Amino acid sequence: MTEIDQFMAGLRKRNPNESEFQQAVEEVVQSVMPWYLDHQDYRQSQILERLTEPDRIIIFRVTWETDQGHVRANRAWRVQFNNSIGPYKGGLRFHPTVTQSVLKFLGFEQIFKNSLTGLPMGGAKGGSNFNPRDKSDREVMRFCQSMMTELHRHIGEDVDVPAGDIGVGKREISYLFGQYTRLENRWVGAMTGKDTSFGGSAIRTEATGYGCVYFCENMLNHHGEDLAGKSIVISGSGNVARYAAEKAIEKGAKVMTLSDSGGFVEFAHGMNREQLEFAHVLKEENRGRISEMAEQFDGVKFYADSDPWGVKCDIAMPCATQNELDAEGARLLINNKVMAVCEGANMPTTAPAAGLFKKNGVLLAPGKASNAGGVAVSGLEQSQNAMRISWTREEVNDRLQNIMREIHERCVEHGSASDGQQVNYINGANISGLKKVADAMLGYGVM
């Protein structure tokens, strides 16, 4: 049995039925183990064993009332994974597929991502199996207020700072933060992703998508390529997907697709600005379906219940959810000569798909590096709140670009292949992210 097999056997035994968590840990362990074994001090201190056990998980019931007066009970969690390098930080997800395993995988990856940003943030994630999709604004408000009635005891500007994720956008953050402020009777930056009218940072809404494109550009440039003129297949049409599309178009790339859980739309000539604006309003204000784009515009075709991976492109940006890009999708992309996959979502690529990309020389940027722009600007929001100031769009955007460039450099530093050719971004992100956290844990002693 190799060290990796032995470690994973123990982890599976301790965390049965948590396939997403096991998958996220296995990816990290596979890439860091040789480096880890070279560091006797980390091994002796059991850094990997400690890092894969959350500091704590808070599980609670959220009771709320529908508009018709029916009582509903949902389950909610906050997984506080590791606060060695800063207060716990990470989003909240509202989606019927949310389980403890999903939130543990997300919280675990957040430790590495937050470390990579260079900002002082620990790793956490939370959420609920509540589905905001078919609920009224008032129902969402009552759910959020009830959730915060419990959650407020466990968070705070120096303790744990939640933000958005799938199903949690400006509306939800506003209800949650309003209730936090009421219960605590003090205004502090205990959440990020707030509206700019009450302490939110410029560019936070755009940051994950913009950051993903900045990372992609750095990755292409490092390998002698450029973004301008490249065709990009994007999945999802949420916050991350639409702002990735916006920045990609601005950089002269051609966005070929967007999707949601109902299927995908293909833009015959690449998406234009009018179509992008329509998508923003469709998804942000009207909460509509992506299929409506095909009804609205000529040259836009809708494919129901399908993934966009069969559409020819140079670059793929999966920006919807975990495990959305599997081996079959990877084969389609490889057959169409994709050169790079840049993850906007968290863990969108399955392990077999990642293996195929590696084997075929396709660059693969893991979400914990390429989607770190969102949490990075959250970190900047925390700083602005603490200083009681707000920076301009230009200032935040400059900082975001610098942070994404530095994350890319960290990946190159720790992920450069021995043949000096292609960078292994998964190794680079995992080792670089781990190093800072491991050194902090080592310094604190046994705890």
Residues known to be catalytic:
125
Cβ atoms of 293 and 267 within 8 Å: the answer is: no
The mark string for 339-378 relative to ligand NDP (x by CB under 6 A, - otherwise) is -----xxx------------------------x--x----
The mark string for 307-346 relative to ligand 2IT (x by CB under 6 A, - otherwise) is ---------------------------------------x
Q: What does 260 bind: ligand NDP, ligand 2IT, none (CB cut-off 5 to 8 Å by kind)?
A: ligand NDP
Q: What does 212 bind: ligand NDP, ligand 2IT, none (CB cut-off 5 to 8 Å by kind)?
A: none
Tell me which residue of 2, 14, 163 sits closest to 93, measured CA to CA. Answer: 163
Report the 10 Å Cβ neighbour count for 34.
Answer: 12
Stretch that binds ligand 2IT, among 43-51, 74-82, 87-95, 331-339 (CB under 6 A): 87-95
Is 373 a binding residue for ligand 2IT by CB under 6 A? The answer is no
The mark string for 96-115 relative to ligand 2IT (x by CB under 6 A, - otherwise) is -----------------x--
Q: With residue 356 as reference, give the H or E element that holds it.
A: helix 351-359
Q: Compute the least distance from the CB of residue 394 to ligand 2IT, in Å.
A: 21
Stretch that binds ligand 2IT, among 26-34, 195-203, 370-378, 402-410 (CB under 6 A): 370-378
Stretch that binds ligand 2IT, among 128-136, 210-218, 323-331, 374-382 (CB under 6 A): 374-382
Q: What does 240 bind: ligand NDP, ligand 2IT, none (CB cut-off 5 to 8 Å by kind)?
A: ligand NDP
Q: Which is nearer to ligand 2IT, 21 or 64 (CB)?
A: 21
Q: For residues 272 and 217, what is the distance between their CA atoms, to the nearest angstrom?
A: 20
Cβ atoms of 211 and 376 within 8 Å: the answer is: yes
Cβ atoms of 145 and 110 within 8 Å: the answer is: no
The dihedral region occupied by 258, where left means phi > 0, alpha psi between -120 and 50, and beta the remainder, is: beta
Token output for 440: 């902090």
The mark string for 282-311 relative to ligand 2IT (x by CB under 6 A, - otherwise) is ------------------------------
Binding residue for ligand NDP, selected from 237, 257, 370, 424, defined by CB under 6 A: 237
- The helix/strand/coil state of 306 is coil
The mark string for 146-165 relative to ligand NDP (x by CB under 6 A, - otherwise) is ------------------xx
Provide CB contacts within 8 A for 108, sequence distance 6+. 21, 24, 25, 28, 52, 54, 81, 123
Q: Which is nearer to ligand NDP, 7 or 368 (CB)?
A: 368
Provide CB contacts within 8 A for 16, sequence distance 6+. none
Binding residue for ligand 2IT, selected from 192, 218, 424, 432, defined by CB under 6 A: 192
Binding residue for ligand NDP, selected from 244, 320, 404, 423, defined by CB under 6 A: 320
- The helix/strand/coil state of 103 is helix
Q: What does 201 bind: ligand NDP, ligand 2IT, none (CB cut-off 5 to 8 Å by kind)?
A: none
Tell me which residue of 127, 126, 133, 145 sits closest to 64, measured CA to CA. Answer: 145
What sign has the CA pseudo-torsion 293, 298, 304, 310? negative
Stretch that binds ligand 2IT, among 48-56, 85-93, 194-202, 406-414 (CB under 6 A): 85-93
Q: What angle do CA 31, 367, 360 make, to 5 degrees?
A: 60
- Binding residues for ligand NDP restricted to 189-218, rule: CB under 6 A: 208
Tell me which residue of 140, 199, 206 sits closest to 171, measured CA to CA. Answer: 140
β-bridge mates for residue 82, sequence order: 123
What sign has the CA pseudo-torsion 136, 137, 143, 146? negative
Is 319 a binding residue for ligand NDP by CB under 6 A? The answer is yes
Provide CB contacts within 8 A for 385, sequence distance 6+. 157, 188, 189, 199
Q: Which is nearer to ligand 2IT, 94 or 143 (CB)?
A: 94
**Tokens 């084997």 sit on residue:** 359
Cβ atoms of 304 and 226 within 8 Å: the answer is: no
Stretch that binds ligand NDP, among 37-45, 180-188, 234-242, 432-440 (CB under 6 A): 234-242
Size of the site for ligand 2IT (CB under 6 A): 11
Q: What does 239 bind: ligand NDP, ligand 2IT, none (CB cut-off 5 to 8 Å by kind)?
A: ligand NDP
CA 237 to the chain's CA centroid: 14
Is 128 a binding residue for ligand NDP by CB under 6 A? The answer is no
Count CA atoms within 13 Å of residue 131 on its CB side. Answer: 4
Tell me which residue of 238, 244, 290 sits closest to 264, measured CA to CA. Answer: 290
Stretch that binds ligand 2IT, among 11-19, 88-96, 328-336, 350-358 (CB under 6 A): 88-96
Cβ atoms of 253 and 275 within 8 Å: the answer is: no
Residues within the interface to ligand 2IT (CB under 6 A) = 89-91, 113, 163, 165, 192, 346, 374-375, 378
Contact positions toward ligand NDP, by CB under 6 A?
95, 97, 164-167, 208, 236-241, 260-262, 319-321, 344-346, 371, 374
